[in-house]
Amino acid sequence: MTFTVTHVDDDDGGPTRLRLAGELDMISAPRLNAVIDRLASAGQRRLLIDLTELTFCDSTGIAVFVRGDNRAAAEGGWLRITGAVGRVARVLAVTGLAGVLGYGCDTADPAVADRPGMG
C-alpha cells in the first residue's frame, strides 16, 4: 500500500494536523521525516498526527515519531499521536510510545490534553 502524509495548518493557532495513510516503514519514513522537518523549519511546534488510516508501522516509523517529538520539545512544542487501530495500536502500546505521546488520553482532542505524567 502506498504511504501518504497530508497536513492541515490550524488558522486559529492550534496544532498542525498530519494524517498518515498506508505503511510507515524504512522506505516511507524519510518522507515523513522530511515533512516534519519542513514544518518545524516553518515554525510549526505542535504536531498532531492522525494514524487512523495507517495500516503498518515498523521500528523506523516509531523512530520518526520519537525524533519528531524530541525536535518539537527542544523548540517548546510537542508531537502527539491519535487514532491508531489494529497492529499499529498494538505496536505503540508494546513500545510504550502510546503513553509517551499522549495516545489514548481521556479528552476528545489529545492536542489539548496535558502530557501523561506532566502537570
The answer to whether position 54 is within a domain reads yes
Degrees, nearest 5: CA angle 20-36-23? 30
Q: What is the CATH number of the domain that holds 25?
A: 3.30.750.24
The answer to whether position 118 is within a domain reads no
* Number of independent structural domains in the chain: 1
pLDDT band for 44, please (50, 70, 90 cuts).
very high
Contact 98, 104 (CB under 8 A): yes
Whether the predicted model's global pTM rises above the 0.75 cut: yes
The answer to whether position 117 is within a domain reads no
The answer to whether position 67 is within a domain reads yes
Question: pLDDT value at position 103?
Answer: 52
Question: Which secondary-structure segment (H or E) carries 5?
Answer: strand 4-8
The answer to whether position 119 is within a domain reads no
Question: pLDDT value at position 110?
Answer: 46
**Predicted confidence (pLDDT) per residue in 71-99, tens digit:** 999 999 999 999 999 999 999 999 999 98
Report the C-alpha gap between 4 and 58 in whole angstroms.
16
Q: Is the dihedral of CA 5, 105, 63, 13 positive or negative?
A: positive
Residue ranges making up the domain that contains 13: 4-112
**Predicted confidence (pLDDT) per residue in 49-73, tens digit:** 999 999 999 999 999 999 999 999 9
The answer to whether position 64 is within a domain reads yes
**Predicted confidence (pLDDT) per residue in 9-39, tens digit:** 766 778 999 999 999 999 999 999 999 999 9
Interval 92-111 mean pLDDT: 70
Question: pLDDT value at position 12?
Answer: 75
The answer to whether position 27 is within a domain reads yes
The answer to whether position 8 is within a domain reads yes
